[in-house]
A = this chain, B = another copy of it.
Amino acid sequence: MDLATEVTPSEAGTILTVDLAAIVANWQTLRVVCGDAECAAVVKADAYGLGLGPVVKALYEAGCKTFFVAHAFEGRAARAIAPDAAIFVLNGMRPNTAPLYADFNLAPVLCSVPEIEDWGQYCAVTGRRTPEGGLLPAAFRLETGLNQLGLKPYDLEHGIHLSHLFDVTLVMTQLARAEHGEAIAKQIEKFEIMRMRLPKARASIANSGAIFLEANPLYDVVRPGYALYGGNPTPGRPNPMKPVVRLESQVIQVRILEPGERVGEDQGWAARGPRRISTISAGTADGIPQSLTKTKNGAGGAAIVQGKRCPYIGGVGMDLVAVDTSDSGYIERGDIVELIGPSITIDDFAAAAGVSGYEILTRLGQRCHRRYQKL
């Protein structure tokens, strides 16, 4: 251990435990659900903050052959671990970045005519090939209703015109959230119509949530992200996925408050009777959102201390937050508390903070001691 840089568990503000076996189990569960469709894995944003390297390694060894990332630099990190996997880069291909893709055999997900022109020109001029000698890969992203990225019907002539310069291995789109069933139905219809005009290629539209939609054809490749990491892809129904992360922190100080005493910089919480509160070593810089104690209805979040739910009180600081441990068992400095884990799922935590689970996940790794072990 290099004392100068290592975050040791005993001093870490937060300890993030990531269960790689659970990620693999979730991938295998989804693979069964998806039947004949290939189950890929979305590992963008450092695998949702859990560590792209270890996550890609675990999934690759389990048989995952296709990965989706947002940026080319993420794709290069995945390539170092998965030498023969298909790696798709979702966030478009910027001007003058073609070599960053070609050097590592990354497939840009082309979403506009200028991108198709860039990639086609690069492939034609350089004559570069994949390690197997084929044309370089690419995907087409079709715009079907989100109006963010993708080709519209009037873009397709260009797409067809230039697509012989590279290998279009995938045609994809992204769906609206599950609750917008009507919009999704229209999206699928548009996708079908546009696909007919394109050269034959595998198709992909389903993310974690869409995999479980009754109406939703899975096509050839499904691309779960959030569900792999333990998030519930079926909101409102029991979570079919295994939990993947546990976030713990330590009690720094326990204090008895008299009625009327206040807590925090904003003095926003006052003890209504005698209370025992505990200050724990976690804050916004550890990925705990301020909104966790700011909910107008007073519900807010809670940590698990000695098996009891203890509400956050008094505002989340950069490094500290207090919880009301009046109803927990005996507690003292150094005790471990659960912020996310068996009793508080990632979905519970996110709901209490009023943000999406993936916003929470990607923030947890900022200043933690991260360890990979079974939960």
Contact = CB atoms under 8 A, between A and B. Distances in A.
A264 interface: yes
Contacts of A80: 4
Given A77-B5, A111-B252, A359-B289, A148 B11 contact: no
Given A103-B3, A264-B148, A362 B318 contact: yes
Interface of A: 3-8, 10-13, 44-46, 49, 70-73, 76-77, 79-80, 90-92, 94-97, 100, 103-104, 111-112, 114-115, 143, 145-150, 152, 174-177, 180, 183, 250, 252-253, 255, 257, 261-267, 277, 279, 281, 284-285, 289-291, 314, 317-320, 322, 332-334, 354-356, 358-359, 362-363, 366-367
A32 to B, nearest CB: 26
A265 B104 CA distance: 31
Identical chains in the assembly: 2
A265 B184 CA distance: 10
Contacts of A49: 285
Nearest to A334: B95
23 contacts: A3-B103, A4-B76, A7-B71, A8-B97, A11-B97, A11-B100, A45-B366, A70-B285, A70-B319, A71-B319, A95-B334, A146-B264, A146-B314, A147-B255, A147-B263, A148-B317, A149-B252, A174-B265, A177-B266, A284-B358, A290-B355, A318-B362, A363-B366
6 smallest beta-carbon distances between A and B, as pairs: A45-B285, A92-B252, A70-B319, A284-B359, A95-B334, A148-B279
